[in-house]
């Protein structure tokens, strides 16, 4: 695997680019402000949701990498077709198996032999596959509002939203649209949080916010037959049973049911469950008491 090429430090991170197994140029943010302070501690690697990107993790990455007591190196990845990673001409490659391979390639390129992983939504599904295929990479796992079973109602809602949301004319309208669509399930968010979410979701092109992902990713959801049961990942979840595991569940989520979360706890007796009050799918990890809960979990890890 080729070495990464690196941009300069900006905003507390260094930009990294690496090559996927099939030749795509992929992007990562590397929050490593003090190598001496983080020496001896495993890094945290963050995997975003279906159409999200590294900017989702920026506030949390700063908190963890600059922790005055136990700072850690934090790496956030843009999946192919999202953020600063290249779009794939073969749209069929936007699948969990290929994207899991990209994460493994990132670890190799960045010299990571073992890490603590945070997976938001689709990122957590990818971690199920990595647990089954490359368990040696995983020291501990934090699943953000995701489990082996997806609720059809919640997935259909995501499909409809992604394929019908109107394009904002400016950044103020982008924040307004997000609040209109998600305000009922994200009651904990203040006005500034909606503006920050807009900056994370959209890319500035000619002064106008544009969704920062390949539209083919959202379009693929239209092919799901919701009259049939959705496949589950319980077999892969069993591979997580040997690991320290934390599950963050949005209080108002429609994608991860109480029943599924309860079954996860039954199958993993050491699972730590944290409720994200006033948040839906997927919780913003830098808000409320989530950072405190994450720090407590990380303190138990190498």
pLDDT at 1: 32
Q: For 12, left (φ over 0), alpha (ψ -120 to 50), or beta?
A: left
Q: Are strands 13-19 and 5-10 parallel, antiparallel or unpaired?
A: antiparallel
Q: Nearest CA to 237 among 209, 205, 266?
A: 266
Q: Report if pTM > 0.75.
A: yes
What's the confidence (pLDDT) of residue 2? 39
For the beta carbon of residue 230, count every other beta carbon within 10 angstroms: 12
Secondary structure letter of residue 213 according to DSSP: B
Q: Determine the angle formed by the axes of helices 58-65 and 290-298, rounding to 10 degrees.
A: 50
Per-residue pLDDT of the chain (302 residues; tens, 9 = 90+): 334 565 555 689 999 999 999 999 999 999 987 788 888 899 999 999 999 999 999 999 999 999 999 999 999 999 999 999 999 999 999 999 999 999 999 999 999 999 999 999 999 999 999 999 999 999 999 999 999 999 999 999 999 999 987 899 999 999 999 999 999 999 999 999 999 999 999 999 998 999 999 999 999 999 999 999 999 999 999 999 999 999 999 999 999 999 999 999 999 999 999 999 999 999 999 999 999 999 999 999 99
Q: What is the distance, to the nearest Å, from the Cα of residue 92 to the centroid of all Cα atoms in its chain?
A: 21
Cβ(243)–Cβ(216) under 8 Å? Answer: no
Q: Is 29 left (phi over 0), alpha (psi -120 to 50) or beta?
A: beta
Distance, in Å, from the CA atom of 233 to the CA atom of 235, rounded to the nearest integer, reads: 5
Residue 165 Rama label (left phi>0; alpha psi -120 to 50; beta): beta
Distance, in Å, from the CA atom of 145 to the CA atom of 9, rounded to the nearest integer, reads 31
Q: How far apart are CA 79 and CA 213, in angstroms?
A: 10
**DSSP letter assigned to residue 82:** B
* DSSP-based three-state secondary structure for 36: helix
Q: Write down the pLDDT at residue 90.
A: 98
pLDDT of residue 83: 98
DSSP SS3 for 138: strand
Instruction: State yes or no: cis peptide before 282, omega within 30 of 0.
Output: yes
Whole-number pLDDT of residue 11? 80
């Amino acid at each position: 695997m080729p070495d990464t090429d690196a941009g300069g430090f900006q905003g507390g991170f260094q930009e990294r680019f690496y090559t996927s197994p099939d030749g795509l140029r992929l992007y990562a943010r590397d929050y490593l402000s003090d190598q001496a302070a983080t020496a001896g501690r495993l890094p945290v690697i963050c995997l975003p949701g279906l159409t999200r990107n590294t900017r989702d993790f920026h506030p949390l990455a700063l908190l963890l990498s600059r922790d005055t007591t136990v700072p850690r190196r934090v790496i956030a990845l843009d999946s192919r077709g999202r953020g600063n990673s290249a779009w794939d001409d073969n749209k069929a490659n936007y699948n969990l198996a290929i994207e899991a391979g990209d994460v493994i390639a990132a670890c190799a390129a960045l010299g990571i032999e073992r890490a603590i992983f945070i997976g938001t939504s689709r990122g957590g599904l990818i971690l199920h596959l990595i647990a089954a295929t490359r368990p040696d990479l995983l020291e501990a796992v934090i699943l953000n509002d995701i489990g082996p079973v997806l609720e059809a109602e919640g997935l259909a809602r995501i499909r409809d939203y992604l394929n019908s949301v109107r394009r904002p004319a400016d950044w103020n309208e982008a924040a307004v649209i997000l609040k209109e669509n998600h305000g009922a399930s994200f009651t904990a968010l203040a006005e500034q949080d909606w503006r920050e979410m807009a900056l994370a979701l959209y890319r500035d092109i000619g002064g106008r916010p544009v969704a920062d992902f390949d539209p083919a990713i959202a379009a693929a959801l239209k092919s799901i037959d919701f009259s049939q049961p959705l496949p589950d990942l319980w077999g892969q979840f069993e591979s997580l049973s040997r690991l320290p595991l934390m599950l963050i569940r949005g209080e108002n989520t429609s994608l991860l049911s109480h029943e599924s979360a309860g079954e996860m706890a039954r199958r993993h007796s050491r699972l730590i469950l944290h409720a994200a009050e006033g948040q839906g799918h997927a919780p913003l990890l830098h808000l409320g008491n989530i950072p405190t809960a994450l720090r407590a979990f990380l303190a138990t890890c190498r």
